[in-house]
């Protein structure tokens, strides 16, 4: 560890790291990690929602090893068997007409390409995203990312407008039963009627006003880029039906709807394979990364044939996207999700997890939310304000010291982000809940 500390200055200071006493991870298996001292940790963050089927899954490892002995790289100027096999398997998880896929290397690149597709197809430039959303770190996508903690001072992402955050917990409108979650919002009454969410209707009124006031009446925006559930923003869920109605409003103006599934895709939400399906929404473009490769650097953009064909007006090229190694890994990940019924596991274990967290008796928990194995726990102080950074850091360290690794998010960094490998079981949940409960009660 002493040598690691000596070498630390070789990496940039701006690179985000967790914990006061930095971890040096040396091994992973399933839902567990080990550090250089041999201490075992339950990984409840999955490399930031990336390790989908478990660390070093033997089937994924075997697929990668087999492909390394056949063919590593040709780039997109030649086609390979793995890219065709994977394209067929991946697009089979989507409803019609989402059946054409571009392969890239990360979520930032996927969202960057999606914006380019929308602008190219519509002939428009303006884009719309949402406050509190996170979509990546390229200069174009930084314009759509709307969390001040991630915004640079240099010019970026021109002509991306922001819609208000649609948060039923602490947004302008919302209430007890407004979101699709096993846990209800505390202390905020809901006046919704059965099958109708009044908060959604009010937010949609504002969405349509945004389209009317902020964009030319003769056209409108090129597209709307939005997460199905906000990830970095603190696992924020929208009121029921919001995405469906927002997408409908956008399409009436001729704009394209882009669903950012980088964190919500591949069965993580349990009830559906893709996050947009949980809101009965129909996007024109879908972006994905992270869990797509279980840690292997890859991403993809799925769209319609019409939109993909329109991109032929200009030449598109990607050196590494869809290379044989990535395609073999991606196909193996899909196989494991199906064979081990990991989507079903997310539904069952996720519901148990959310209810156990909600049962923690602490006034410092303002909200427990999420769906499947995408979970957030928002911490507050005694006055109901966001938990101060120093107290939050102490609790965060305390959970780690009890052998559980989690993340944190939200503009104030006061939400515990829990997005584990999708193979965890109820015993793992009990261990994580106990660690969180104990750390909150003791403040460290």
Distance of CA 71 to the CA centre of its chain: 31
DSSP secondary structure code for residue 233 in this structure: T
Name the residue with tokens 């339950």: 42
pLDDT at 211: 96
Low-confidence ranges of the chain (pLDDT < 50): none
27: which strand partners? 34
Q: Which residues pair with residue 371 across a beta bridge?
A: 374
Q: How many Å apart are CA 82 and CA 72, to the nearest integer?
A: 11
Q: Torsions phi, psi of 437, nearest 5?
A: -60, -50
Q: How far, in Å, CA of 295 to CA of 383, rounded?
A: 40
Distance (Å, whole) CA 136 – CA 275: 18
| pLDDT of 314 | 75
Pairing of strands 127-130, 223-227: parallel
**Rounded-to-integer distance, Cα 268 and Cα 278, Å:** 11
Q: What is the DSSP string of 283-320?
A: -SEEEE-GGGTTTSS-EEEEE-HHHHHHGGGS----SS
Give the model confidence (pLDDT) of 91-104 as tens digits.
999 999 999 999 99
**pTM for the complete prediction?**
0.95
pLDDT in tens, 234-284: 999 999 999 999 999 999 999 999 999 999 999 999 999 999 999 999 999
Cα–Cα distance for residue pair 404/390, rounded to 1 Å: 20
Buried b (16+ CB within 10 A) or exposed e, 9-29: eeeeeeeeeeeeeebeeeebe
Q: Which residue has the tokens 């950074």?
A: 389
Please report the pLDDT score of residue 171 as a whole number: 94
Residue 147, judged by CB atoms within 10 A of its CB (0-12, 13-18, 19+), counts as: middle
Q: Which residues contact 309 (CB under 8 A, 6 or more apart)?
A: none
Distance of CA 67 to the CA centre of its chain: 28
pLDDT at position 297 is 97
So what's the pLDDT on residue 219?
86
Spatial contact of 302 and 101, defined as CB atoms under 8 Å apart:
yes
Domains and CATH numbers, the chain: 2-53+341-442 (3.90.1150.10), 62-339 (3.40.640.10)
Nearest Cα residue to 298 out of 320, 273, 266: 320
**Nearest Cα residue to 304 out of 98, 96, 8:** 98
What angle, 0 to 180 degrees and rounded to 10, lies between the N-to-C axes of helices 342-358 and 426-442?
A: 30
163 φ/ψ angles, rounded to the nearest 5 degrees = -90, 155
How far apart (Å, rounded) are the C-alpha atoms in residues 196 and 213? Answer: 27
In angstroms, rounded to a whole number, what is the distance separating the alpha carbons of residues 51 and 49?
6
Grouping H, G, I as helix, E, B as strand and the rest as coil, residue 191 is coil
Nearby residues of 216 by Cβ (< 8 Å), 6 or more positions away: none
The encoded tokens of residue 74 equal: 């040709």
User: What pLDDT is stored for residue 150 in this prediction?
Assistant: 86
**CA–CA dist 158, 230 (Å, integer):** 22
Distance CA(130)–CA(84), nearest Å, equals: 35
Please state, rounded to an integer, the average pLDDT across all residues of the chain. Answer: 94
């Amino acid at each position: 560890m002493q040598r690691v500390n000596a070498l630390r200055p070789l990496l940039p200071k701006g690179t985000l790291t967790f914990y006061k006493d930095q971890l040096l991870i040396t091994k992973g298996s399933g839902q567990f990690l080990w550090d250089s001292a041999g201490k075992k940790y339950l990984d409840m963050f999955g490399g930031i929602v990336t390790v989908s089927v478990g660390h070093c899954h033997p089937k994924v490892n075997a697929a990668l090893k087999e492909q390394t002995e056949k063919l590593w790289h040709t780039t997109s100027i030649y086609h390979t068997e793995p890219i065709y096999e994977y394209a067929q398997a991946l697009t089979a998880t989507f409803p019609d007409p989402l059946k054409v896929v571009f392969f890239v290397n990360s979520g930032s690149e996927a969202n960057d390409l999606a914006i380019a597709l929308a602008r190219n197809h519509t002939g428009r430039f303006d884009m719309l995203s949402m406050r509190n959303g996170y979509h990546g770190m390229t200069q174009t996508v930084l314009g759509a990312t709307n969390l001040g903690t991630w915004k640079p001072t240099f010019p970026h992402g021109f002509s991306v407008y922001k819609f208000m955050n649609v948060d039923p917990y602490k947004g302008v409108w919302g209430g007890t039963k407004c979101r699709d979650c096993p846990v209800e919002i505390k202390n905020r009454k809901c006046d919704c009627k059965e099958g109708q969410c009044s908060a959604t209707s009010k937010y949609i009124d504002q969405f349509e006003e945004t389209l009317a006031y902020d964009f030319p009446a003769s056209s409108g925006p090129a597209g709307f880029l939005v997460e199905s559930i906000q990830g970095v923003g603190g696992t924020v869920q929208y009121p029921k039906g919001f995405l469906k109605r927002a997408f409908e409003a956008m399409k009436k103006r001729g704009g394209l709807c882009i669903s950012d599934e980088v964190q919500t895709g591949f069965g993580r939400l349990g009830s559906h394979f893709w996050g947009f399906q949980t809101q009965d929404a129909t996007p024109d473009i879908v972006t994905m990364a992270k869990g797509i490769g279980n840690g292997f650097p890859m991403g993809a953009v799925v769209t319609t044939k019409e939109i993909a064909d329109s991109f032929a007006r200009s030449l598109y090229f990607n050196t590494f996207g869809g290379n044989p190694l990535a395609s073999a890994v991606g196909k193996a990940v899909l196989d494991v999700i199906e064979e081990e019924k990991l989507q079903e596991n997310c539904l069952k274990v996720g519901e148990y997890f959310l209810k156990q967290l909600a049962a923690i008796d602490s006034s410092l928990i303002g909200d427990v939310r999420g769906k499947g194995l995408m979970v957030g726990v928002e911490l507050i102080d005694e006055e109901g304000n966001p938990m101060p950074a120093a107290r939050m850091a102490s609790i965060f360290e305390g959970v780690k010291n009890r052998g559980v690794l989690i993340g944190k998010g939200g503009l104030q960094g006061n939400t515990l982000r829990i997005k584990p490998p999708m193979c965890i079981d109820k015993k793992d949940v009990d261990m994580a809940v106990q660690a969180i409960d104990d750390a909150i009660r003791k403040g460290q």
